Amino acid sequence: MNTKLTALLLLIPMAMTSASAVAQATTQSQPRRAAKAPVTVSLEFPGGTIAEFVAAVRGGQPKANIVLSTKARDAKVPPMVLKSAGLEQALEGACMAAEADYDVRVKEFRGAGEPVYSIVAQQRHNPGVVQGAGYTDVTQRVFSVNSLIAERMSGMEPLRITTILSAIELAMSDEKKPPRIRFHEDSGLLLVRGTHGQTSVVEQALSTLNRDLMEREQRYMQFKQRDSIRKNNKQPK
């Protein structure tokens, strides 16, 4: 074999190894890109229209890309406190809690840049109208569970949200298509989306739990009062 050709063949693997080493060293020397911090929302909203809520979100988070339809602007949003909530969660919670003659929905659109959230108004059908497959039309309702989970002045333990949700789940155990239920911790709101009959069952369950809690609290207070009297009578005079 030609001496020059042999030398060239020997140099090719060495060059490939050298190039690989240089590429590896370059890759290792490059700083790793930091993970993009999620867009979060923290605010105390006193209540108002969905347009005012969106303005408050934009004021605290300028990076929020929110498109609001003209018809959805006047839907009423109750007061709520958000602490480091995800942007999508904050918008969904506000839309589900919004009061209007129409349904307010938010949809996320993802692409190369930051996601865009579009809030639109949709016509609401009359609850109870049967629509194919034997299901009644879907509606949404908002319930406050603060009276059940807040600290009691009597000192008695309040109900846990897990207890409330499990009671509702049991009441819906025979449903082929259970309702969608979400709990907003900061505001103490329970957001329920389901048929008119399902939301009525949730209302009945919460009412029963509240009545039972008040009765148990009354018995608890009576017991504490009797115990205090008994202890005072035992003290030496």
Token pair, residue 17, equals 């190894």
Burial readout 98-131 (b: 16 or more C-beta within 10 A, e: otherwise): bebeebbbbeeeeeeeeeebbbbbeeeeeeeeee
45 has pLDDT over 70: yes
pLDDT digits (tens, 9 = 90+) for 51-91: 999 999 998 888 889 999 999 999 998 888 888 888 888 89
Q: Look at residues 147, 125, 138 and name the one whose alpha carbon lies nearest to residue 178.
A: 138
Written as one letter, the residue type at 70 is: T
Average of per-residue pLDDT across 91-98: 86
Domain spans in the chain, listed from the N-terminal domain onward:
38-124, 125-237
pLDDT band at 131 (very low <50, low <70, confident <90, very high): very low
Give the distance, in angstroms, between the CA of residue 83 and the centroid of all CA atoms in the same chain: 12
Average of per-residue pLDDT across 5-12: 49
26 has pLDDT over 80: no
Average of per-residue pLDDT across 177-181: 89
Average of per-residue pLDDT across 37-48: 83
The confidence score (pLDDT) of residue 52 equals 94
Query: Does domain 125-237 fall into CATH 3.10.590?
Result: no
**38-124: what fold?**
Phage tail protein beta-alpha-beta fold (3.55.50)
Average of per-residue pLDDT across 130-148: 69
More confidently predicted of 49 and 17: 49
Which of 8-17, 34-43, 211-220 is modeled with the greatest confidence? Answer: 211-220
- What's the chain's average pLDDT? 79
What is the C-alpha to C-alpha distance for residues 145 and 149, in angstroms, rounded to an integer? 6
Average of per-residue pLDDT across 189-201: 88
What share of the chain in percent tops pLDDT 90?
17
The confidence score (pLDDT) of residue 16 equals 52
